[in-house]
Amino acid sequence: MAIRVDDQIVEAAAGSSVAEVLQKALSGKKFKSVVACAALCGDERRVIDLSAAVPDDAAGLEPVYADSPEGLQIIRHSTAHVMACAVKRLFPAAKVTIGPSIDNGFYYDFDVKHPFSSDDFAAIEAEMKKIVENRVPFIREDVKKNTALARFREMGEPYKVELIENLPGDTVSLYTCGEFTDLCRGPHVPHTGFSGASKLLSVAGAYWHGDEHNPMLSRIYGTAFADDKALSAYLKQLEEAKRRDHRKLGRELSLFMFQEEVAPGMVFWLPRGMMVRTILEDFWRREHLKRGYDIVQGPQLLRAETWQRSGHYDHYRQNMYFTQIDEDQYGIKPMNCVGHMLIFNNALHSYRDLPQRYFELGVVHRHEKSGVLHGLLRVRQFTQDDAHILCAPEQLEDEIVGVIRLIHDLMQLFGFKYKVLISTRPEDSIGTDEAWELATNALISAVKAVDLPYTINEGDGAFYGPKIDVVLLDCIGREWQCSTIQVDFTLPERFDLTYVGQDGERHRPVMVHRAIMGSLERFIGVVIEQYAGALPTWLAPEQARILTVTEAGNDAALAMRDELRALGIRVEVDTRNEKLGFKVREAQVAKIPFMLVVGEKEVQAHAMNVRLRNGDNAGLKSVGEVASLIRADAEEPFKQGGMRYSFS
């Protein structure tokens, strides 16, 4: 039969393996980098092993290369099997559970008497290296469930038995790598030689099926890449990420703390961290007022019936907290949209009043499992820079474009690159197909109008409408989900929102849900890591620190501090009886943008010697000149982004 491979037509004999066909079409070098293949069978794209026979209904074959996203996923999953094989050699009593690939790596969970630690990594990696060097093939078998059950019972692997018993159908697929056999759908790399660029990273505890009533397992995380160069680059990125870890910097810079025994997943903001929040919030409120938003605020609790009406009770209840008041059930708000719709309904609106743009820095609560809590990045209580735009259908595209431009300005201010995903209707959703199509098309049209590239993210929309998700990229290449824009025809219907049109009749508005920073906690965590704690001057809680050389300069330093504060500069003074070098080092560790040295000469001149955070020396400056210098530095990022924000 004739098979298309990379724009070539290749003749394949009946029963030929995928590898045999690909070898005819690809050069030797190209073929060596292929880890699997996608068989194109009608409308279906089926990824299979190279050792598999070419499907009878295949019209074409797409090679899956090792360095492609799909190829890396296969390498990582295969490396999880290699690691499990090594673990079973070294710890025969270990019971294996599951070992999937994940973003940037893989893990495998084991039931062991003594949990693994990083001290075990050297031995496990040495055993993995032997398996890799032997280029052990991955061999697939499709067997009857009863046969598989008998094999895993004989091996003493109860978790595999449980998994098989819960699988549909009469057959299952197994993969064998050396002496290790695992239940797996596949596909896998041809042999273990593809797992050479791998590294074990960390250990953690994990409950079987994520249920705290089940046994606690020992999880080993690792990563794998197509070659050593890519692995080395990733490990360097991890080291840099550790240096920038917002949890570490938050402690060192006294920004925030957590008290897990008191309020797990909830942040205590310390004075310096609260100053950062306050500066950010004040800027963001002003920016919204400039762009035509009205600031509102809704209550924290709403009756459960209200959440039933909105659909949150049926579709989002597992993420909500509830409480009882006077025998009535109330839901603590997980988002602000319901309150904003009730505000809209407080008055009768004309088409001339639209759009209505309601903005709220709203505190919300969402139930997150303890295992996923992660510093500021994943918390149970957080503040959303939430807004809801209620507009006429013909205004929708312009409103979405306006939000996109606000997102662009914010990303530019902080130096973030970003990419756009358009997420479509999920299975668990409300509303008509017609409404979903209108909403999705509006998002696509708006993104095209500003000439932004985008990717369709099938089935990941909110339960009430499709959305644009903005994924930002920080300075070391990591991705963070940030802004979201959601178009909703359904909730205005449920809450009977109307406006009076030009024809004098009642019409239904469209609602745009949008958050730009998203969670302020998460955004601040990302910003801390973006700048490695050295926040830009406009956002720094302490913009300057006056350092005295001797006690004789203390009174003059305190007077200059007060003058700078009167000019709007956030400044402290260090009058301790310590050497100047010690004070400078402490200010550098605290990442203070400006260090202002006051000695005998400066006292006489009523001036300060200015040192910058980067080590440069700006020389002797008067109090007014210092204030102007700091203000200019604070305003520079806004000038570059065209936001024209003034701190004078």
pLDDT digits (tens, 9 = 90+) for 579-635: 999 999 999 999 999 999 999 999 999 999 999 998 899 999 999 999 999 999 999
Q: What is the pLDDT of residue 648?
A: 52
Check if the beta carbon of residue 598 is closer than 8 Å to that of residue 561.
Answer: no
The pTM assigned to this predicted structure is 0.82
pLDDT at 489: 87
pLDDT in tens, 426-439: 888 888 888 888 88
Contact predicate 215/109, CB 8 Å:
no
- The amino acid occupying position 613 is R
Band of residue 100 on the pLDDT scale cut at 50, 70, 90: very high
Please count the CA atoms within 13 angstroms of the CA of 609 that sit on its side-chain side: 17
Q: Among 173, 141, 177, which Cα is nearest to 160's?
A: 173
Domain layout of the chain by residue ranges: 2-65, 70-231, 256-530, 544-641
Q: Read off the pLDDT of each residue in 410-424 and give the average, rounded to a whole number.
A: 91
Domain 2-65: give its CATH code: 3.10.20
What CATH fold (topology level) applies to the domain 256-530?
A: BirA Bifunctional Protein; domain 2 (3.30.930)
473: pLDDT confidence band, cut at 50, 70 and 90?
A: confident
The pLDDT score that the predictor gives to residue 647 is: 58
Q: What share of the chain is helix, strand, coil (3-state, %, to 5)?
A: 40, 30, 30
Predicted local distance difference test score (pLDDT) of residue 29: 87
Q: Which listed CATH number (3.30.460.10, 3.40.50.300, 3.90.1150.10, 3.40.50.800) goes with 544-641?
A: 3.40.50.800
pLDDT band of 646, cuts 50, 70, 90: low
What pLDDT is attached to residue 27? 83
Check: CB of residue 543 under 8 Å from CB of residue 534. no
Q: Per-residue pLDDT averaged across 296-311, rounded?
A: 94
Provide the percentage of residues in the chain whose pLDDT is more than 70.
Answer: 99
The DSSP result for 40-62, as a single string, is EETTEEEEE-TTSBPPTT--EEE
Asked whether the beta carbons of 528 and 520 are under 8 A apart, the reply is no
Sheet holding 294-295, edge to edge: 294-295, 356-365, 381-391, 510-519, 479-488, 467-473, 417-423, 454-457
At 165, is the secondary structure helix, strand, or coil? helix
Residue 363: its pLDDT value, please? 95
**pLDDT > 90 in the chain, percent:** 80
Supply the pLDDT for residue 438: 87
pLDDT at position 579 is 95
Spatial neighbors of 434 by CB under 8 A, at least 6 apart, are none
Say yes or no to pLDDT of 481 above 90: no
Strand-strand pairing, 349-350 and 499-500: parallel
Q: Report the DSSP pairing between strands 417-423 and 381-391.
A: unpaired
pLDDT at 460: 87
pLDDT value, residue 643? 66
Rounded to an integer, the average pLDDT of 545-571 is 96
Dihedral angle over CA of 19, 21, 26, 28, nearest 10: 50
Angle at 191 between CA 187 and CA 193, to 5 degrees: 125
Q: Report pLDDT for 246.
A: 94
Which helix (DSSP H) or strand (DSSP E) does residue 102 occupy? strand 101-102
CA distance 535 to 613: 11
596 bridge partner residues: 546, 610
Active site residues: 337, 366, 384, 386, 388, 467, 513
Contacts of 596 (CB under 8 A, 6+ apart): 544, 545, 546, 547, 560, 571, 608, 609, 610, 611, 626
CB atoms near residue 588 (< 10 Å): 15
Token pair for residue 221? 């995380």
Alpha helices in 311-395, H assignment, sequence order: 312-315, 337-344
What fold is seen in the domain 70-231? Answer: Threonyl-tRNA Synthetase; Chain A, domain 2 (3.30.980)
Task: Assign 645 a pLDDT band (cuts: 50, 70, 90).
Answer: low
Task: Give the C-alpha separation, 602 to 302, whole Å.
Answer: 60
Nearest Cα to Cα of residue 491 among 317, 321, 329, 308: 308
Copy the structure tokens of residue 214: 């089940």
Predicted confidence (pLDDT) at residue 146 exceeds the cutoff of 90: yes
